[in-house]
Structure 1
Amino acid sequence: MNSPLHQFLAPDSIAIIGASLDPTKRGYKALVGLLGDGYAGKVYPIHPKLEEIMGLKAYPSIEQVPEPVDLALICTPAKTLPGILKLSGRNGVKGAVILASGFGEAGETGARLERETLEAARRGGVRIIGPNTSGLFNLHKKVNLLALDAVKPGNVGIVSQSGNMLLALALEAQHNGHIGFSTYVGPGNQTDIGFADYLRYLGEEANTQVATLYVEGFKNGREFLRVARETARKKPVVVYKSGSTAAGQKAASSHTGALAGSYAMTVDVLRQAGVNVVGKSDEILPVAEGLGLLQQAAGRRVAVLADGGGQATIASDRLSEAGLRLAELEDVTRERLRAVLFPQASLANPIDVAGSTDANPRLLATCAEILCQDRNVDQVFLVGMFGGYGIRFAQELAGDERVAAQEIAAIKQQSDKPLVVYSLYAPLKPEPLEVLRGSGVPVYDSIEHAVEVLAALSERGEFAQRDASAVHVEPVPPNAAMQRMIAAARQADRDLLEPEAKNLLAAYGIDVPAQCWIASAADLDTLDASWLDRPVAMKVVSEDILHKSDAGGVKLNLQGRDALRAAYAGIMASCRAYQADADIAGVLLTPMVAKGVEVIIGVSRDPIFGPVMMFGLGGIFVEILEDIAFRSIPLSRQDAESMVNQIKARKILEGARGAAGVDKAALVALILKVASIVEAHPEIAEIDLNPLVAYPDGYAVVDARMILDRIG
């Protein structure tokens, strides 16, 4: 095991510091939970006055315990923590659960106490869970420090920043009756141990088949992404992320900066790492259950088997909205279905049995087996009232349903294709559905939840395929001349000007249109014919004027020296009127570019996740439409390709209404080159290529902005 957390999340000895005989205290409830559940390890109550608690010898201090302790549950006030952790370290305590609040979340005084607590723990070699944590349990080890009732051991591991969310999941699992948990940890303030550490533990923990996290905020998102990718290669990782990151609230000076740090960015980079992200809190446990039982699907093609047309239609709608597809059934499949169903049955997917199963529900198992054998089907979705035939029609059918459930369970064991069931009778828990659940076939009382599971299974399968074939782009060495240019700009406490940014792009092999930097009106007199005999654009060059068009700093379709002189004078006058104190370094001439599809490529260094690439529709509507895809850098070629294919406007890129599609391969290559620039030059905080005009045979970088980290 690589994770040091195994030493104390599966402890063989536990000290309860602040043990109590008061039933309202955590020091009492934890002891009750350990003793009531039959914890086999050693338990050491710590109390300054009592000699015995609940039949156990009590000790006045952790120092008095006769042997090292794996885990200490500390139930005392915040101010006592530095001293207790100092003594705990002396006695070999490996991990400490700190319940107390009043630390960093309570202001500067609390933050100072939190730092002192961490320093004391580190000096003593004690790892901290919390502070401000709800606690932990390890049900297979019979460690239940929350004294939570009616939770059963199972395969779902949970890390939740909300104790109430854990309680909600526990109650939901209790109602379900078949979902159980392995380990739960409340990370609290993550003063020492963070989400990445807990996820690594769950990835290694043998009883955990799916790691499930409720996250309010990451402290080291980049490390979490690395661990998530490693873990997702072995088992599913489900995350519900509440709200948006703090980075999303920062003031930004570019389109890229304004859009990065958003909830959408967080979702994209998590999915890039193989995480299944759920968007609603009531989807957490259904998706975790389905992934834990079925793991993954080979693709997005779903066969819907229904005993009612209305629900078949609803299922089809939800599948389409989730990005799944109704499978095109093979001819042999339709023939086999026709042989067992009534003539009026619909054999086009979704399959509506049209009353064929009313008197013989075992036909549903027969049809499910036929569909699982279809090479065009990746998953089977059984929709309707299975489990309720004996209730709805005749009690005698209950036996047939039970046999059908056993047959469906056998199909699930024999096929590598996931089979998911929605039944409107699921809330009643009839025996046939309990047979399915007990055999590992997930059953849901919501079509929407079932579809989320099918989508998650497909996403996980796609991640496995993408990860297995990923082609990672080798980093490029930094260009020395560009390093000097960046250093000079930082020394002058400014960002790169547009012509400098484009020179940097060109230095790394990116095709940039010709440009001519005009520092003064006199420079217009020295222009050669190449800039006079064709239409050109003129733009102000100023680090102070971010939105050039708003300032009147852009003139288009200029030709001839007189037109250029007039445009130069107009730009200077407009920009001075717009911002009198702006530092204007001249204007930039570029050839007019042909019309195409405007897109944006950008990079922002997110405080949580590090450098993040952005791609989407560009131009003036980028922040309005927000049709954007994000990926964490470094990128694989598959990452770049998936960005281009993710946006809703991909049909525009592919050619709409007879228009030619854009050169997506060129865009992918450009995305990878921009990513390599950011890796080579960590001083670049943001890159904004907007607009970037895409063509059927390449692209044109119309505007480029690069923002630098300031020195000091």
Structure 2
Amino acid sequence: MNPIEGHLPIRSPLHDILAPTGIAVIGASSDPTKRGYKAMVGLIKDGFRGDIYPVNPKADMILGVKAWPSIAEIPGNPELALICTPAASVPGLISECGRRGIKGAVILASGFAEMDAEGAALESEMMARAKAHGVRIIGPNTSGVFNLHHRLNLLALDNVRPGDVGIISQSGNMLLSLALEAQYNGQVGFSTYVGPGNQSDIGFNDYLRYLGEDEHTRVATLYVEGFRDGRNFLDVAREVTAMKPVVVYKSGSTAAGQKAASSHTGALAGSYAMTVDLLKQSGVSVVQHSDEILPVAEGLGLLQKARGKRVAVISDGGGQATIASDRLSEAGLELAELSEQTRQKLREVLFPQASTVNPVDVAGSTDANPSLLATCMEIVAADDNVDSVFLVGMFGGYSIRFAESLLGDEMRGAEAMVDLSKATGKPLVVYSLYTPIKPPALRRLHEAGLPIYASIEHAVRVLSALGERGQYLAQVERQSRERSVTPLPELSAMFQRAQREGRDLFEYEAKQLLRDHGIEVPLELVVRNEAELAEAAQRFGETPLAMKVVSKDILHKSDAGGVKLNVVGEAAMREARQAILASCLAYDAGAEIEGVLVTPMAKKGVEVILGVIRDPIFGPVLMFGLGGIFVEILEDVAFRSIPLSRHDAEDMVEQIKARKILAGVRGEKAVDKSALVDLLLKVSRIADAYPELSELDLNPVIVNSDGYAVVDARVIVDREHVATKESVA
């Protein structure tokens, strides 16, 4: 599917608002210091193709355009209103817009919910009137809007050219920065820009859907400070990224990260790392530095994707080839292994001292013949082991560095590269140290649609984004997200009982939940008295046991002395039980103790953690990482939105830095990754099936070469969610 030709199932209502045939500028002004003046200037200078209706009761004409005293007296039917008046006037004006049939309003004023309680009340009143009259709201507290292909420029920005990069930014200064960067670049242009402001009505997911449908947008680019409906955004992102690239720069962390956490998973969820993982799971290209936003957006817009992450580097300088190799490796890219046939073809055109392994160092072969670089690019691009080609060095500057007579040869080389870019499906990315002065050969490449970078780091980030997008698109066609299991009535009743008693699930109940849905959990018994202890001793014999307190009042069992390990035999079990009860009552004299849980010790293996949290922004999220007591210190974890696909589960296992431990070190056998993936999928299904489950921690889970053992399980119950008849059917 062509990225521009794709479409989403539901057409966004924003098309009428952001591409209006008429606009009312409420608060239009002849005062150059007013936003109502700047908006009029932008519309007039850019040649807005629709009708402009300035609204100002004190003026007959504004900048040569007839003004109207009120919204009601406008003669036409504008779809959009730009409101440039103070916050207090907005609710009434929204009602007037609705009565006039105006579909959307851009509200510039601040002083709403971002300020104080009084402002929040004003915003609520505004939204009540907007809903009553069917008016969609952009903002309030927005920096504005432009749609350059429709010559709608409400920001009056100069020197921004129409193009295919759509931008949604919560920072007006960030837009200005990108606009100035694009002006310096000379080839990047924009389609639509919106400052979402407070998102009181229209949010990031709505804007992304619009950009996904917009025929003029080839890549959607977002600067995000905070999502209001992250779950919906992820759903829309999955649809849009299947058609065109989406680039996100996320600043800060979600509000969820500020709450007091009640579990290991809760302590780590809501973090910036979680947000990044969830965005990537939906196919979004996440940039972590603000100066990467436009380079990555341009590169993805022009080149779309690479088949994979194998890069061939061609360089005319050994030092920069080494730097490029370092950066590629750090970014998770591979230096492609060139075939012997490819290397032989390179040897035929290069000096004997040239290196034909990747990175290819031409070693002076191109000093008098720079077009030879294009020949080398063509040779390596034909290699099946290569997914993308990276030219590194001084192309474009040979005629400056050596002799002006080389300009013609450089231009021929540039034309050959342009032809190659059209003939191959593999991205060609160029870094040149002469990029800042824009010599003719580089200008030709850039004008023809090849991204040119003045930074090796920026070029590598683009190559990484291209490879990630290609791999995502390849797997998303094969993977479906696995749906939940059917809730079992007895387990739903167990949740309801815990809710009535104002507690979380006991550990044995949590393990019953797991066991009944196919997760392997070791045999365990709850010992409440001496008779039950004797029965347990007979059942387990001389097997080493773990014994743990069962109490709704004691959450951290080890801290309370509520855990004894490697207990063998009835006498030791009796002694351990008495010690546990004494220690726990000393820890909390009022604690209600139901009993002591007895289970066989897990055999040796690697400790991992699986956790679930219902994030207030993104909904149910699964976490996986290295387990034990260090999980919150090391933070070596991966997050995915629930429900997972099998690829999601496999990717989580490979993402953590401790994956080498899972593969086996110092003579230890590799763990059973297939069993681990199966466990992740089963936990995902359980969390999806039981909305009463607020948080879940399986920590530790011992994984080894022949499976896993869930050592400890904790389920925090949602006190507010009450299961319906449908959820237990």
1:375-434 CA-partner distances (Å, limit 9, x unpaired): 000000000111111111111112211111111111011100001001111111111111
Residue aligning to 1:483: 492
Q: RMSD of aligned C-alpha atoms?
A: 1.0
Residue aligning to 2:174: 165
1:593 aligns with 2:602: yes
Contact 2:537–2:573 (CA under 8 A) maintained in structure 1: no
Residue aligning to 2:150: 141
C-alpha distance in 2, partners of 1:48/1:664?
72
1:210 aligns with 2:219: yes
Give, as a single letter, the amino acid of the residue that structure 2 aligns with 1:589.
V
C-alpha distance in 2, partners of 1:492/1:49?
67
Within-5 A mapping of 1:337-356: 337-356=346-365
Give, as a single letter, the amino acid of the residue that structure 2 aligns with 1:213.
L
Give, as a single letter, the amino acid of the residue that structure 1 aligns with 2:33.
T
1:77-96 CA-partner distances (Å, limit 9, x unpaired): 00001110101001111110
Residue aligning to 2:395: 386
1:458 aligns with 2:467: yes
Give, as a single letter, the amino acid of the residue that structure 2 aligns with 1:439.
A
C-alpha distance in 1, partners of 2:271/2:28?
44
Residue aligning to 2:115: 106
User: Structure 1 residue 634: deviation in Å?
Assistant: 1.1
Within-5 A mapping of 1:24-103: 24-103=33-112
Residue aligning to 2:526: 517
1:560-585 CA-partner distances (Å, limit 9, x unpaired): 11111111121122222323333322
C-alpha distance in 1, partners of 2:593/2:300?
58
Change (3 A) 1:187 1:124: same
User: Structure 1 residue 637: deviation in Å?
Assistant: 1.0
Contact 2:622–2:641 (CA under 8 A) maintained in structure 1: yes
C-alpha distance in 1, partners of 2:109/2:529?
66
Within-5 A mapping of 1:235-246: 235-246=244-255
Residue aligning to 1:116: 125
1:434 aligns with 2:443: yes
User: Structure 1 residue 67: deviation in Å?
Assistant: 2.2
SS in 1 for 2:486: coil
C-alpha distance in 2, partners of 1:527/1:672?
33
Residue aligning to 2:617: 608
Please point out which of 455, 462, 465 is paired with 1:446. 455
Please point out which of 583, 592, 602 is paired with 1:574. 583
Please point out which of 550, 556, 559 is paired with 1:550. 559
1:295-351 CA-partner distances (Å, limit 9, x unpaired): 000001000000000000000000000000000001110000000000000111000
Contact 1:521–1:568 (CA under 8 A) maintained in structure 2: no
C-alpha distance in 1, partners of 2:592/2:343?
73
Contact 1:99–1:132 (CA under 8 A) maintained in structure 2: yes
SS in 2 for 1:685: strand
C-alpha distance in 1, partners of 2:232/2:37?
37
SS in 1 for 2:714: strand
Contact 2:315–2:359 (CA under 8 A) maintained in structure 1: yes
Q: Which runs of 5+ in 1 are unaligned?
A: none
Give, as a single letter, the amino acid of the residue that structure 1 aligns with 2:618.
F
SS in 2 for 1:368: helix
Identity %: 65
User: Structure 1 residue 521: deviation in Å?
Assistant: 4.5
C-alpha distance in 2, partners of 1:705/1:315?
47
Moved over 4 A (4+): none
Residue aligning to 1:710: 719
User: Structure 1 residue 522: deviation in Å?
Assistant: 5.0
1:660 aligns with 2:665: no
SS in 1 for 2:114: helix
Please point out which of 271, 277, 284 is paired with 2:293. 284
Contact 2:484–2:684 (CA under 8 A) maintained in structure 1: no
Within-5 A mapping of 1:351-362: 351-362=360-371
1:175 aligns with 2:184: yes
Residue aligning to 1:184: 193
C-alpha distance in 1, partners of 2:291/2:157?
20
C-alpha distance in 1, partners of 2:448/2:144?
32
1:667-704 CA-partner distances (Å, limit 9, x unpaired): 11111111111111101011100000001111000000
C-alpha distance in 2, partners of 1:351/1:543?
65
Q: TM-score, normalised by structure 2?
A: 0.97
Residue aligning to 1:262: 271
1:625-663 CA-partner distances (Å, limit 9, x unpaired): 111111001111111111111111111111123321111
User: Structure 1 residue 530: deviation in Å?
Assistant: 2.2
SS in 2 for 1:140: helix
C-alpha distance in 1, partners of 2:208/2:483?
28
C-alpha distance in 2, partners of 1:320/1:542?
50
Residue aligning to 1:332: 341
C-alpha distance in 2, partners of 1:518/1:470?
45
Contact 2:371–2:409 (CA under 8 A) maintained in structure 1: yes
C-alpha distance in 1, partners of 2:720/2:155?
49
